[in-house]
Structure 1
Amino acid sequence: MKALYFDEFGDNSVLQYGEVEIPKISRDQLLIKTSYIGLNFADIYRRRGTYHIEKRSPYINGYEALGQVVQCGENVKNFKLKDRVFFVDVPFAEAEYVCVPAEKAIKVPVGLDSKTVAAIGLQGLTADFLAHDLGNNQIGENVFIHGISGGVGQILAQMLTADGMNVYGTTSTIQKQQLALSQGAKKVFLRNTDWKDASFANFATVYDGVGITLKQSLELATNKGKVIFFGMAGGNPPLVNPLDLLGQSKSLLTGDLWDYLNSAAERKHRSERLFSYFVNDKIKISEPTVFPLAKGKEAYEYLESGKSIGKVLLLPEDH
C-alpha cells in the first residue's frame, strides 16, 4: 500500500511517500481502506519529535481518518463489510489501509457525506468536549475564542451560539474574520489590532487553543470566570502563578479528550450529539482543503503556514 512516512524526526523534508506493507488485523480489529485522512497540528509536533508517536519503522504519522471496512476480525460483531466508519485516535492513519480496533471505530451517520464527516471528526469531538465537559456555559453568557476560524474554533463557536451563548473571538485575517461573523459570532477582532482594550472584555469563559495567548486570556476573563486551555497552535503557553488567579476567583481548566472519549459507548454518545448539530443545520463549516496523500509535504507546509481555514485532509491515490 502507499503511505506517507519518515525515518527520522525533523522538518517537512523528512517526509516520504511510497510503498509499505499492508497491516494485518487481529481478531478485534477492522481493516479500513481510507477515503479521507485528517491532518492536525499534533501531527506536525509528532514529525518534529516533540509529541508522542507510536513506534514503527518507518514512522507513519496520523491518528484520524474515514474510510470503508474491507475486513473484519472474527470477534467483531457491530460492523460489517462496506460500513463507513471514522476514527480519531488510531495510529498510522496516513496510509491507504489502517487497522482499527472495533471499539475505536465510529459509524458515519446517514445523511452526512464522507468529506464533511472527515472534516468534522477530531475537531468536532474536541469542540463538543470543550463546550459540554469543560465550558458548561449558561445561556446568555459572553464567551471568547482564540483562533475562532480554525478547525476547532469554527465548530466550537457555532456550537456555543446554537446553545445560546454570545460568541466573540480573534483571528488573523479579514477573510477569516468575515467567515466567523457569517457563522454567528457577535464580534471578531484581528489578532494584530488592540482588541484587549475592548470595553466589554468581560467574558465568562475564554477558550484558548493558541497557547502563547494564555495570559491575555486570563485578562479577558471576568471575576469568577474561567479560561479553558486546550492547545498550543501558536507556541508554548507562559507560566501562570495560581496566586494571580486567587484574588479574582478565576479558574484555569484543561483536559485531555481521551479521558472522556474512553469507550465505544462514549464515542457513540458524543458523536451522535455532535452530528445532531450538523443534521439540524445548526453548524456549517468551510470547505476543507484537500491534498493528495502523495503531496503530503505540501499539506504539512500549508497547515504550518497559518493560511489554512478549517480542516486539511489528505486523499489516498485511488479514492
Structure 2
Amino acid sequence: MKALYFDHFGNSDVLTYGELPDPVVSRSELLLGMEYIGLNYADIYRRKGEYHIEERSPYINGYEGVGTVIDIGSAVSEYNIGDKVFFVDVPFSNAELVAVPKENAIKLPSNMDSKLVASIGLQGLTADFLAHDLGNGLESSNVFVHGISGGVGQILAQMLTADGLNVYGITSSKEKQQMALEQGAKRVFLRNSDWQEDYLSYFDTVYDGVGITLLDSIDLVKHRGKVVFFGMAGGNPPKIDFVELLSQSKSILTGDLWDYLTSYKERSERSDRLFKYFREGTINISEPTIFSLSNGKEAHEFLESGKSVGKILLEP
C-alpha cells in the first residue's frame, strides 16, 4: 500500500510518501480502503515528537478517516464488504489501507455523505462532548469560543447556538468573522482588536482550545463560571493561580475525547446525536480543503500556516 510516513521527528521535511506493507487484519478487525483521512493539529505534534504516537517503524500518523470495508476478520459479523465506515481513534490512518477494530468502527448512515462525515467526525464528536458533557450550559447563557472559525470551533459554536445559547467568539480575519456571524454567532471579535475590557467577567462558559489564551479566558468568565480547556493549538498554557480561581469561584474543566468514547454504544449514540444537527440543517460547515495523500507535506505546512478555514482532508 501507499502511505505517508516518517522515521524520525521534525518539521514537515521528515514526511515521505511511498510503499509500505499492507496491514494484517486480525479476527476482530475490518480492513478499510480509505476514502478520506482527517488531518489535525495533533498530527503536527506527533510528527514533532511532542505528543503520544503509536510505536511503529516507520511511523504512520493519523487517527481518523472514512473508508469502505474490503476485508473482514473471522470474528466480525456486524459488517459486510462494501459498508462505509468512519473512525476517529485508530492509529496509522495516513495510508491507503487501515485495519480498524470493530469496536472503533462507526457505520455511516445512508443519508450522510463520506466527505462531510470525514470533515466532522473527530471535530464533531469533540464538540459534542465539550458542549454536552463539560460545558452543559443552560439555555440563554452567554458563552465564548476561541478559534470560532476553526474545525472544532465552527461545529461547537453552531451546536451551542442550536441548543439555545448565546455564542460569542474571536477569529483572525474579517472573512472568518463574517462566516461565524452567518453561522449564528451573536458577536465575533477580531484578534488584536480592543474588546476584552468590555467583556471581563461576562461569560458563563469560555471554550479554550488555544492554550496560551487561558489567562484571558479566566478573565472573561464570570464568578461561578467555567473555562473548558481542551487543547493547545497556539502553544502551552501559562501557569494558573488556583488560589485566585478559588477566591472568584471560577472553574477550569478539561477532558479527553477518548474518555468519552469507551464503547461501540457510546460511539454510536454520540455520532447519531452529532449527525442529527446536520440532517436538520442547524449546523453547516465550510468546504474542506483536500490534499492528495502524496502531498501530505504541503497539507501539514498549510495547517501550520494558520490560513486554513475548517477541515483539511487527505485523499489517497
Q: 1:248: how far off? A: 1.1
Whole-Å Cα distance in 1 between the matches of residues 119 and 294 of structure 2? 19
For residues 70 and 157 of structure 2, the distance between their equivalents in structure 1, rounded to whole angstroms, comes to 36
Q: Which residue matches 1:135? A: 135
Whole-angstrom CA distance in 2 between matches of 1:163 and 1:199:
22
Q: What are the Cα deviations for residues 203-252 of structure 1, in whole angstroms up to 9, with x where unaligned? A: 00000000000000000000100000000000000010110111111000
The SS at the match of 2:57 is coil
Number of residues paired by the alignment? 316
Other structure's SS at 2:148 match: coil
Q: Which amino acid aligns with 1:294?
A: S
In the alignment, which residue of structure 1 is the partner of 2:168? 168
Distance, in Å, in 1 between the alignment partners of 2:247 and 2:110 is 50
Q: Per-residue deviation at 1:199?
A: 4.6
Which residue does the alignment assign to 1:177?
A: 177
- Return the offset for 1:197: 1.6
Q: How does 1:34-113 map to 2 (within 5 A)?
A: 34-113=34-113
CA root-mean-square deviation: 0.8
The 2-side partners of 1:296 and 1:270 are apart by 30
Give the match for residue 159 of structure 1: 159
Give 2:278's aligned residue.
278
TM-fit CA distance, 1:295: 0.3
Q: How does 1:16-27 map to 2 (within 5 A)?
A: 16-27=16-27
Q: CA deviation at 1:83?
A: 0.4
Counterpart in the other structure of 1:294: 294
Residue ranges of structure 2 left out of the alignment (5+ in a row): none
How far apart, in 2, do the equivalents of 1:280 and 1:215 lie?
37
Alignment of 1:24-35 (within 5 A): 24-35=24-35
Query: The residue matched to 1:54 in structure 2 has which SS?
Result: coil
What secondary structure is seen at the aligned counterpart in 2 of 1:177? helix
Q: Which amino acid aligns with 1:157?
A: A
Question: Which runs of structure 2 are paired with 1:175-214 in the superposition (5 Å)?
Answer: 175-199=175-199, 202-214=202-214
- In the alignment, what sits opposite 1:125? 125
2:257 paired residue number: 257
Distance in 1 (CA, whole Å) between partners of 2:58 and 2:183 is 42
Hey, what's the Cα distance between the residues in 1 that align with 2:199 and 2:47?
A: 42
Q: Which residue of 1 aligns with 2:115?
A: 115
Secondary structure at the counterpart of residue 248 of structure 2: coil
Contact 2:200–2:220 (CA under 8 A) maintained in structure 1: no
How far does residue 198 in structure 1 lie from its aligned partner after superposition?
2.4
Asked whether the equivalents of residues 201 and 223 of structure 2 are also in contact (C-alpha less than 8 Å), the reply is: no
In 2: Cα distance, 1:187 partner to 1:289 partner: 26
Give distance in 2, aligned partners of 1:271 and 1:199: 34
**Aligned partner of residue 247 in structure 1, secondary structure:** helix
Mapped to 2, the partners of 1:110 and 1:243 lie a distance apart of 52
SS of the residue aligned with 1:198?
helix
Deviates more, 1:141-150 or 1:74-83: 74-83
Partner of 1:227: 227
CA drift of 1:201 comes to 5.5
CA distance in 1, matches of 2:78, 2:140: 41
- Checking the alignment, whether the CA contact within 8 Å between 2:210 and 2:232 is kept in structure 1 is yes
Q: Would you identify which runs of 4 or more consecutive aligned residues in structure 1 move more than 6 Å?
A: none
Q: TM-score, normalised by structure 1?
A: 0.98
Give SS of 2:134's match. helix
Amino acid at match of 2:97: Y
Q: Can you give the 5+ residue segments of structure 1 that lack an aligned partner in the other structure?
A: none
Q: What is the CA–CA distance in structure 2 between the aligned matches of 1:40 and 1:13, rounded to whole Å? A: 17
Query: How far has the Cα of 1:43 moved from its partner?
Result: 0.2
Deviations 1:132-163 (A, max 9, x none): 00000000000000000000000000000000
